[in-house]
Chain A
């Protein structure tokens, strides 16, 4: 990461403030790698983050412009910001599963509907880990957490029949992918495609939380165990096994197939202005 760190990241925030052994770094690194491979400069990106582990540990790591929004609202902030900043600048958001699929879901769906350019990397630690380890909307069934002490009894949004990516596709998202953080090359590839879509892209990436999830679910903070556990429960789409929870790969790619939110609004405003100036009346 040294070369990448120097080029893109702030010394003050590297090494990361995440717990040791946390898989968040893999998500973060994959995104920076993708931007590097696309030859982006620091000034080509405004980097936004949310609340929780994913947000807090990635906030202000980027050498360029950074913001951290209120819990679940970064998608709305980004839609406003999208209209104010140069169209060529990319908005990148690193957020958590609670932020995107819980408190912010309504804003997320409308960001997808409007196809506003933002690359949302959902760093999924399978629940609310920065608050100690409560279940979330992707926590697998049966898993013990601090708020599901008898095992998670509710269904979740990665079950095939109710996949959150299917909802986002139906809502209008133009690029969707799912990975686990150890996917490496495949994750970077998806992120590159996501960033290149001038529209709403979301990459859902499950990563191992050693401190809280692993302690509750596996009874140990041993990083090797939880990394293996996450990896074992993931498989590329079409190669699912009996225990597969996360079907990985590009779920939906309609990149650049429909107008981007701010571009469409800019065009429509320019057209109205032209017409109005031409007619010169109210």
Chain B
């Protein structure tokens, strides 16, 4: 085991290379630039390539292009670059090409605040491209160590599901300096729960059957299989076609290969849910770190408060919200994006409230004040904003 005091950016690079990533294409953007820098330094040492593209749209297309040629590849960006990924995301989802994408969220919209954490791409990550008819896999780390581990997992899932897997991090995860353990031996990797999968090659000549199966090898160009992949609706052979009947098949595949195998993807952390807590706090990413401290301290004071932290964020883990309670979604945005998902998933006789911060983490004191108000049935006034429903 190697131990470092390093940033999340460094940890992510180590995880990617460990998972077999041999090409990274990027475009400088705060706060994800350091991943590109670390990749440009470390990939060549293991025979891998770093490409700096003309823009983010080009960067992800290059990474997907290389992945379509059989390489394990990755790209990383932040919000303003993430929206330029919309185009290649669609291509990778539709052609069913494995690739890992990291988004270190900052404060938006547009350029916003560049060097501070946000969580405004909760829904963007679910719908990274247009057109619908697909499910997405999104993993949300809350530390440098977990970012390393989830990078490895993202590569593993992308191979099994033949699809882009998004790591939805934030500025504190990627920039934060933390203790990181990098396993070296197979035993150490296994003990850490890391999973690996090599690239396999679909031998064609057909594209894919209409099935929700995972573990079908992806189509790979350049292997003389007669492979065909395109941005159009494919027939089962891979030809372009424009009929509703034909479109049904790939749509079914893109949705249900993920929807029917959430057990392979699901990860979460929960705390104190066994005694029907009065409040269940829901949060992900770095926001969950102060939330966890606040919940633990509240317990010490005798308050019945629990916590749910989805780690696999999409598909959204509805099954975790099966208890009647008062839910509190704590997010790094002011618009309460996750509120809607929690509200949808929780029992109908539960309540949902929201506390949002942006560019900085909620403090334990702030959270305790909120818990207090909720327990007394007082309305929340986060930063002077009264939300009638929440």
- A interface residues, Cβ below 8 angstroms from B: 12-13, 43, 46, 49, 51, 56, 59-60, 63-70, 73, 76-86, 89, 106-107, 109-110, 265, 268-270, 272-273, 276
In the complex, chain B residues 15-56 whose Cβ is within 8 Å of any chain A Cβ: 23, 25, 43-49, 51, 53-55
User: A165 CA to B66 CA in the complex, in Å?
Assistant: 28
Are B47 and A269 touching (Cβ within 8 A)?
yes
Q: For A12, what are the chain B residues with a Cβ–Cβ distance below 8 Å?
A: 239
B132 within 8 A of A: no
B61 within 8 A of A: yes
Are B240 and A106 touching (Cβ within 8 A)?
no
**Nearest-neighbor residue (CB-CB) of A277 within chain B:** B45
Are B63 and A66 touching (Cβ within 8 A)?
no
User: A69 CA to B44 CA in the complex, in Å?
Assistant: 28
B169 within 8 A of A: no
Are B69 and A80 touching (Cβ within 8 A)?
yes
**Option from B47, B61, B225 in Cβ contact (under 8 Å) with A80:** B61
Are A76 and B62 touching (Cβ within 8 A)?
yes
Are B238 and A81 touching (Cβ within 8 A)?
no
Are B55 and A68 touching (Cβ within 8 A)?
no
- Give 6 closest A-B pairs by Cβ, nearest first: A84-B69, A80-B65, A85-B222, A68-B230, A80-B62, A77-B65
Q: For B67, what are the chain A residues with a Cβ–Cβ distance below 8 Å?
A: 80, 84
**Option from A51, A64, A76 in Cβ contact (under 8 Å) with B226:** A64
In the complex, chain B residues 224-248 whose Cβ is within 8 Å of any chain A Cβ: 224-232, 238-240
Are A76 and B44 touching (Cβ within 8 A)?
no
Q: A81-B65, A84-B71 are in contact. Are A67 and B54 (CB under 8 A)?
A: no
CB distance from B226 to the nearest CB of A (A): 6
In the complex, chain B residues 173-220 whose Cβ is within 8 Å of any chain A Cβ: none
User: A67 CA to B65 CA in the complex, in Å?
Assistant: 10
Given contact pairs A68-B230, A80-B23, A81-B65, a sample of 11 additional A-B residue pairs in the complex whose CB atoms are under 8 Å apart:
A59-B232, A59-B240, A60-B228, A65-B222, A67-B227, A67-B230, A68-B231, A70-B88, A73-B91, A77-B68, A269-B43
B73 within 8 A of A: yes
Q: For A60, what are the chain B residues with a Cβ–Cβ distance below 8 Å?
A: 228, 230, 238-240
Are B58 and A76 touching (Cβ within 8 A)?
yes
CB distance from A57 to the nearest CB of B (A): 10
B360 within 8 A of A: no
Q: For B224, what are the chain A residues with a Cβ–Cβ distance below 8 Å?
A: 43, 64-65
Q: Would you list 25 pairs from A and B whose C-beta atoms are within 8 A, ordered by A residue?
A: A60-B228, A60-B238, A64-B224, A65-B222, A65-B226, A66-B227, A67-B227, A70-B61, A76-B57, A77-B65, A77-B91, A79-B62, A80-B65, A80-B69, A81-B222, A83-B49, A84-B68, A85-B222, A107-B58, A110-B53, A110-B54, A265-B49, A269-B49, A273-B47, A276-B45
Q: For A276, what are the chain B residues with a Cβ–Cβ distance below 8 Å?
A: 44-45
User: A110 CA to B61 CA in the complex, in Å?
Assistant: 13
B221 within 8 A of A: yes
User: A13 CA to B237 CA in the complex, in Å?
Assistant: 13
Q: A65-B222, A84-B69, A84-B222 are in contact. Are A79 and B57 (CB under 8 A)?
A: no
User: A107 CA to B27 CA in the complex, in Å?
Assistant: 13
B278 within 8 A of A: no
B359 within 8 A of A: no
**Option from A49, A63, A79, A265 in Cβ contact (under 8 Å) with B65:** A79
B223 within 8 A of A: yes
Q: A65-B221, A80-B61 are in contact. Are A73 and B68 (CB under 8 A)?
A: no
B90 within 8 A of A: yes
B70 within 8 A of A: yes
Size band of the B side of the interface?
35 or more
B107 within 8 A of A: no
Are A65 and B49 touching (Cβ within 8 A)?
no
User: A43 CA to B225 CA in the complex, in Å?
Assistant: 9
In the complex, chain B residues 55-93 whose Cβ is within 8 Å of any chain A Cβ: 55, 57-59, 61-71, 73, 87-88, 90-91
Q: For A268, what are the chain B residues with a Cβ–Cβ distance below 8 Å?
A: 44
User: A273 CA to B45 CA in the complex, in Å?
Assistant: 5
Q: A80-B51, A276-B45 are in contact. Are A73 and B88 (CB under 8 A)?
A: yes
User: A65 CA to B229 CA in the complex, in Å?
Assistant: 9
CB distance from B75 to the nearest CB of A (A): 10
Are B91 and A69 touching (Cβ within 8 A)?
yes
**Nearest-neighbor residue (CB-CB) of B53 within chain A:** A76
**Nearest-neighbor residue (CB-CB) of B239 within chain A:** A60
Q: For B45, what are the chain A residues with a Cβ–Cβ distance below 8 Å?
A: 272-273, 276
User: A85 CA to B61 CA in the complex, in Å?
Assistant: 16
User: A60 CA to B237 CA in the complex, in Å?
Assistant: 10
Q: A60-B228, A65-B227, A85-B222 are in contact. Are A80 and B73 (CB under 8 A)?
A: yes
Are A76 and B61 touching (Cβ within 8 A)?
yes
Q: For B48, what are the chain A residues with a Cβ–Cβ distance below 8 Å?
A: 269
Q: A77-B62, A106-B54 are in contact. Are A67 and B73 (CB under 8 A)?
A: no
**Option from B23, B44, B61 in Cβ contact (under 8 Å) with A77:** B61
Are B240 and A68 touching (Cβ within 8 A)?
yes
User: A226 CA to B95 CA in the complex, in Å?
Assistant: 38
**Option from B55, B70, B95 in Cβ contact (under 8 Å) with A106:** B55
Q: A80-B62, A89-B222 are in contact. Are A273 and B44 (CB under 8 A)?
A: yes
CB distance from B71 to the nearest CB of A (A): 5
CB distance from B186 to the nearest CB of A (A): 22
Q: A70-B91, A73-B57, A269-B49 are in contact. Are A78 and B231 (CB under 8 A)?
A: no
User: A106 CA to B55 CA in the complex, in Å?
Assistant: 9
